[in-house]
Every structure is written in structure tokens, then in C-alpha cells.
Amino acid sequence: MKNINIKIFKDNIIANKVYDIILNTNKSLFLTGKAGTGKSTLLKCILKDVKKKFIVLAPTGVAAKNVEGLTIHSFFKIPYHLITSNFKLVNEIVYKTEELLLIRELELIVIDEVSMMNSVMLDVIDRLLRKHRNSLKPFGGVQILLIGDPLQLPPIVKDEELRIIKNHWDSVYFFDSKCFKNAIKNIFELTICYRQNDSFFINILDGMRTNTLADNEFEILNRICKENNETINSNKSILITPHNKIARFENQNRLNKIKGKTFEYISLEAGTFNKNDCNAEVLLKLKTGSKVMFIKNNKFRGYTNGTLGIVEELYEDVIVVRTEDNAIINVLREEWIEYKYGINLITGEFEKNEIGIFSQFPLKLGWAITVNKSQGLTFDSIHLDFRWGAFSTGQTYVAFSRCKSIEKITTSTPILKKDVFVDPRLINFYKSIY
């Protein structure tokens, strides 16, 4: 078995087994794991070393950009109103000759953040691959790697779509698709947590994730957060809320309170690029003293996605930011790339070609963020605003798990039992795989 050449996975048996299966077999698998267990890092290792003809997809544009891939809809040309058409539109999807060639040459499809994909989509992908590869095998014989944690954020579906799905599928979750039950026999869960190292906090997070927190654990959790409120200036922490309106208001309100000139930075675009698939601002408004969050990784320049800082100086071509650890960064524009997969007709190799570029400073206002947009990020300190409650399974768990230490979490109000809930269907799924 070939092991991963990266230090953190040296003794991680599950990570090395998944790596070996994808690189050296054609078996499909689902990789899961709680927050901070290295799913994204393992994916990067696999993509760096795999020699197969592969594509990387994700359910949303932002998730796709994070892995330099495409959305499922854009690659397979699946209409967004497919479900409400009673799936008649599947038969109307037409591919160009070069697109068919690409589909028929595929050896591996990676779908990241699969928990945000509904059960319909996976079955549609299976149907399209079987049809256009002229194969009765699951997914037309293509190896599938699904990555995600269903106990974090669920798929978003409209009420009308939900009614239709429930008439044909057991649930909205991807694992209740017909092809998952038939084709995905290998399921692996990463269990070693790299984000937190406090066993008490890890146990609290595990209880939130599975909705098994006892009453006394709620009391201890709220007592710790209350004590933190007295010693930590929550204004210096990023506010995390389930509600988009609250996050938007907090950011705009705090910006308005700063005296001085507002600088505006307009994005630059070339080629074909869907701005809705990018988390950067089309029009970025900042003032000296603004709290900002970096939204891209650039280790060479000293920041990662989620790094927080304060704007020190603003110029036309550079923004000077002082980070939380007092590093001064001269921030330049970054580029987000729109890709299209293709085949080199001379070499037969898969190619990922640039078809569009979006250029903007990799910053957003950083006083507040929604739970959904915080997924995948890590912060040194957070302030949780759940005054209006959680409204989706896993939200409270995702919010708490963004922080490295329970000692750096403050709350607007005590966390209530009703805010920590998990769809029983998810719990039953995890029970069924062990």
C-alpha cells in the first residue's frame, strides 16, 4: 500500500487507505469525517498524486472554486429547474462531440462538499454517465470519490422541490439516492481531529454533532462561555450567526461607524466567468480601520482563507492589512479562475483550460459571517449570535467547531437545547455504516 507523503497523515491508517484505494484501484468510496479531521488536506494530496483522467466537481460555485473545479450543473449541463420538470429535461441534455469524448474518457470523478448535494443529483449523474458511456455499470464504470460530512450543512432545496423528491426518494440526502446504495460500498470516516486538541471540547463538539449532549454538558458549556464573556472583548472576535441579514447588518453598521473616506474597489473580469460562483466582492468598500477577512490562500504572502486583520492603509493598487498576529501584509489583487475540462486531441491527456478570470482584492468585511459561509474556516476566537435560534440541522455544531479552543468562544445568549438538533435520518445513516 502506498502511503501519503505528508507528515500529519503519517500514522493515519484511514487516510492512507483512502489514498491507496483512489490511486491504485477503481473502487468508488465515500470519505467523511467531522470538522477539522483533514478531509480537504487529504483531497489535495490525492489530486496532486493521482495519475488518472479525473475531474473535480462541487454542488456550489464557491465550493467548486475552493478546489479549483467546476459545479456539477456546469459540467453535466443539468438545468437548475430539473426537479420541478419531473426530470423530463434529463433526456434533453445534449453534449457536444468534445464533451462526449471527455465523459467517455473519464476514470475518476471527485465530488467535494457532497453533503450539500441532494439525492436527485447523484442519480441524475449516474443516469447520464451510464447513457453516454454506453455502460450498465454504476456511474458508467467511472470511479467516484465523494467527500463531505452530512452532519454539518444539509442540501438546500425549495419547498416545491422537496415535495417532489419525497415522492420518489427516501429523503433529500445524497446517501438516499438509488445509485449510492447500489454503488458506494466503501465508506471511510476520518476520526483524528487536527483543529482542536482539548479532549473536553472535542467531546462537546461530538455531542453537538450527534445530538447527544447531556443537560449537564449544556450547563458546563454555557458557564464556560459566560466566563469567557467577562474576560474576552467580543468586539475583537468574528461574529458567527445563522442569519444572513444579521451578518450583513453587523458588517455594514460597523463600517458606517468608522469616520473617514470610503474606498471602492471594482472587480476586473475577462473571458467567461460566473460572478455568482465566487465569494469575492464585485464592489469592495473599505475604510482605514475596517476589520477584514482574507478569502483566499496565499502562504507566500502570509495569509490563508479566514485570516483576520485591520486595514491600516488604502491605496489604488495595494491595501495594507495588519493581521491578528501583528504581521503587516501588502495585499494585492488575486485572481479567481473559471476552468473548462477538455482532452488534448494530440496527446489524449486531460486538460483543465482557463476560460475566464475574475480579479479582486481577496478581502471581505470581517466583523461577521454566516454559519454557512464559515464552513471550512478556522478562527482563533469567535462570538456566536444565536439570539434568533438555529434553523437547520448541524448549524450550531458547525459554528462552535470553527474555533480552536472553547476558551475563546463567547455568546450573545446561552445556547439552548433546541438550537442543537440533528435530523434523525442522518444519525440512522451513520449507524448503518458501522
Mean pLDDT lowest for which of 74-83, 149-158, 163-172, 272-281? 74-83
Q: How many CA atoms lie within 13 A of 415 on its CB side?
A: 31
Mean pLDDT along residues 15-35 = 96
Q: In whole angstroms, what is the distance from residue 99 CA to residue 75 CA? A: 9
Closest CA to 426 of 94, 229, 184, 148: 148
pLDDT of residue 85: 64
For residue 140, pLDDT beyond 80: yes
Residues 240-267, mean pLDDT to the nearest whole number: 97
Question: Is 90 exceeded by the pLDDT of residue 159?
Answer: no
The pLDDT value given to residue 86: 61
In which band, very low, low, confident or very high, does the pLDDT at 244 lie, cut at 50, 70 and 90? Answer: very high
E-state strands within 287-418: 291-294, 308-314, 319-323, 328-331, 334-343, 350-360, 363-365, 368-370, 382-384, 409-411
In CATH, what class is 7-190? Answer: alpha beta
pTM of the model: 0.92
First to last CA, the chain: 24
- Percentage of the chain lying above the pLDDT 70 cut: 98
Q: Is the pLDDT of residue 347 over 90?
A: no
**Integer Cα distance of 358 and 269 in angstroms:** 5
Q: What average pLDDT score do residues 144-168 get? A: 90
118 within 8 A of 173, measured Cβ to Cβ: yes
Does residue 265 register a pLDDT over 80?
Answer: yes
Confidence bin at 1 (pLDDT 50/70/90): low
pLDDT in tens, 92-133: 888 999 999 999 999 999 999 999 999 999 999 999 999 999
Could you give the CA distance from residue 305 to residue 307 in angstroms, rounded to a whole number? 6
In this prediction, residue 160 carries a pLDDT of 86
pLDDT for position 383: 96
Grid coordinates of 424: 434523525
If one counts every other C-beta atom within 10 angstroms of the C-beta of residue 233, the result is 10
pLDDT level of residue 90 (50, 70, 90 thresholds): confident
Quote the pLDDT of residue 334: 97
Q: Is the confidence at residue 84, as pLDDT, over 70?
A: no
Q: Are 329 and 58 a contacting pair, CB within 8 Å? A: no
What is the pLDDT, as a whole number, of residue 87? 66
Question: Residue 37's pLDDT is what?
Answer: 94
CA angle 373, 395, 424 (to 5 degrees): 135
How does pLDDT run across 193-210, given as a tens digit for each residue? 999 989 999 999 999 999
| Cβ-based neighbours of 155, under 8 Å, separated by 6 or more | 59, 115, 116, 117, 118, 172, 173, 174
Residue 157: band (very low, low, confident or very high) from pLDDT cuts 50, 70, 90: confident
**CATH 3.40.50.300 intervals, the chain:** 7-190
d(CA 16, CA 410): 37
Task: Report the range of poorest mean pLDDT among 263-267, 348-352, 370-374.
Answer: 348-352
Average the pLDDT over 31-50 and give the result. 94
> What is the reported pLDDT for 247?
97
Rounded to whole angstroms, the Cα distance separating 375 from 292 reads: 17
Residue percentage of the chain with pLDDT more than 90: 80
**Of 75-79, 87-91, 400-404, 423-427, which gets the smallest average pLDDT?**
87-91
